[in-house]
Amino acid sequence: MALIVAELMDRRLELETRPGLFSPTHADRGTLAMLSVARLEPGMRVLDLGCGYGLVGILAAQICGPANVVMCDIDPLAVEVAALNASRNGVDGVKTVVSDGFAQLTDTGFDLILSNPPYQSDFSVAKGFIEKGFNRLKLGGRLLMVTKRREWYRNKLVSIFGGVKVRDIDGYCVFEVERRTARYANRSPRNAVK
């Protein structure tokens, strides 16, 4: 077990980690890049998709209110540690769910989905996060995703959401999209907004 201290958005988080969890010795730089552009407000419904030990979801719960935040991960250990960290940081009311992407998650109507997907593997996980994430956002809801791979993500996000804003931060690509329609855009990647 390790203890990470992170200072973000004028808040101090203390997070326990375990060997085998993502970034067990320090706050991940990609996650920090994504959070640097996240706009969190009280009352927003937020999903931390692939929560790991809970840094993103706990920060969101402190700002948006614990009852408005859901943290999910496919790894039961990650979800267990995220729940412990939520309690440790004063946001016990956060909902935690063991889920393979959205498969075991029933919540919808999110204002914001935040995700640092496993982009070193094949794209099937990210494809599911993007396609199913679209349907879990309310109209006007946003998805923020961070990776080191630009083209596939840009093209996929444009094909589903119709456009994407890409920011280069600290060696990572932070993608931001907004759900503006009831159905997928299915536009050609050539029409991408950068």
Domain definitions of the chain by residue range: 28-191
**Crossing angle of helices 55-64 and 76-88, rounded to 10°:** 40
Does pLDDT of 94 surpass 90? yes
Does pLDDT of 190 surpass 70? no
| Mean pLDDT, rounded, for 168-177 | 97
Nearest to 117 by CA among 141, 104, 100, 97: 100
Does pLDDT of 193 surpass 90? no
Does pLDDT of 181 surpass 70? yes
What are the pLDDT digits (tens) for 28-45? 999 999 999 999 999 999
3-state secondary structure of 153: helix
Which ranges in 39-161 belong to alpha helices (H)? 55-64, 76-88, 124-136, 151-161
Measured between alpha carbons, how far is 163 from 154 in angstroms, rounded to an integer? 8
What pLDDT does residue 121 have? 66
Give pTM, 2 decimals. 0.94
Does pLDDT of 92 surpass 90? yes
**Crossing angle of helices 151-161 and 124-136, rounded to 10°:** 30
Percent of the chain with pLDDT over 70: 95
Percent of the chain with pLDDT over 90: 90
Confidence tier at 194 by pLDDT (50, 70, 90): very low
Measured between alpha carbons, how far is 149 from 36 in angstroms, rounded to an integer? 19
| Mean pLDDT, rounded, for 55-84 | 98
141 within 8 A of 113, measured Cβ to Cβ: yes
Whether domain 28-191 has CATH 3.40.50.150: the reply is yes
The backbone torsions φ and ψ at residue 18, rounded to the nearest 5 degrees and listed phi first, read -140, 150
What pLDDT does residue 1 have? 82
Confidence tier at 118 by pLDDT (50, 70, 90): confident
Measured between alpha carbons, how far is 184 from 137 in angstroms, rounded to an integer? 12
What are the pLDDT digits (tens) for 130-164? 999 999 999 999 999 999 999 999 999 999 999 99
Q: Over the chain, what is the mean pLDDT?
A: 94
Confidence tier at 188 by pLDDT (50, 70, 90): very low
Does pLDDT of 110 surpass 70? yes
